[in-house]
Amino acid sequence: MADPDDERPTVPAVEPAAAFAGVPDGFERLWTPHRMAYIGGEGKPRDPESGAGCPFCHIPSLPDEEGLIVARGRVAYVVMNLYPYNSGHVLVCPYRHVADYTELTDDEVAEVAELTRTAMRVTREVSAPHGFNLGMNQGEVAGAGIAAHLHQHVVPRWGGDSNFLPIVGRSRALPELLGDTRSRLAAAWPARPQAGSKG
């Protein structure tokens, strides 16, 4: 299965700017999704009924930096999307392996909503987007990459951020490394109002 020429890193990496043709602009780097296989199948739960092999079940067991976790709530958490539509694209996931929004408990619905709201506030503070796309893709037919584990997208938008690159180059120009973005969002995240276990 492993390609001997395949030396892709296991975490998102960035090519040096000099490796790309073009005139430098406001973007310092061109981030390319090295692991498109994730979308094509790799990393998807083998058994959609269980959390075995599910990245959203596994991520909370990692340290925040390694898992790209921005914040942990009681029943849900916030993580950087490995395949962002835009810089600062985060996902809000329940810890529990559930696929459908109607399966969430009242507690989970409330905390997913609360974390989504806080993610918007923090993102506004850190990177001043002009707007957001929020939403959940329910089922593979609706575009969910990991359909078995519900996740709410929070995508910051800036005027003019949609250009020809995603279509022509199958790449997205992203000005920051995911780890850097995670650190900035995590640093700006408010302390939780109530004491409780951390994850």
Catalytic residues: 151
x/- map, 113-132, Zn ion, by CB under 5 A: --------------------
Residues from 157 through 186 that contact Zn ion (CB under 5 A): none
* Angstrom distance (rounded) from CA 35 to CA 38: 6
7/196 Cα distance (integer angstroms): 41
- Shortest Å, Cβ 136 to Zn ion: 14
Select from 152, 144, 181, 147 the least CA-distant residue to 93.
152
How far apart (Å, rounded) are the C-alpha atoms in residues 126 and 103?
33
Q: Residue 60 has what DSSP assignment?
A: G
Residue among 97 and 172 whose Cβ is closer to Zn ion: 97
In angstroms, give the least distance from the CB of 149 to Zn ion: 3
Number of residues this chain uses to bind Zn ion (CB under 5 A): 6
- Which one, 12 or 51, has the nearer CB to Zn ion? 51
Minimum distance between the CB of residue 72 and Zn ion, rounded to whole angstroms? 16
135, containing H or E segment: strand 131-135
Among 34, 97, 153, 172, binds Zn ion (CB under 5 A): 97
Q: Among residues 53 and 196, whose Cβ is nearest to Zn ion?
A: 53
Binding test (CB under 5 A) with Zn ion, winner from 149, 151, 172, 184:
149
* For Zn ion, the closer CB: 147 or 186: 147
- Among residues 146 and 155, whose Cβ is nearest to Zn ion? 146
For Zn ion, the binding residues in 29-88 under the rule CB under 5 A are: 51, 54, 56-57
Part in contact with Zn ion (CB under 5 A); list of ranges 5-13, 96-104, 168-176, 182-190: 96-104
> Sign of the C-alpha dihedral, residues 91, 95, 99, 103?
negative
Q: Are 56 and 65 in contact (CB under 8 A)?
A: no
Instruction: Please give the residue whose beta carbon sits closest to Zn ion in the complex.
Output: 54
Q: Are 146 and 55 a contacting pair, CB within 8 Å? A: yes
Sign of CA dihedral 172, 176, 179, 181: negative
H helices of 3-62, in order, are 37-40, 55-58
Which residues contact Zn ion (rule: CB under 5 A)?
Answer: 51, 54, 56-57, 97, 149
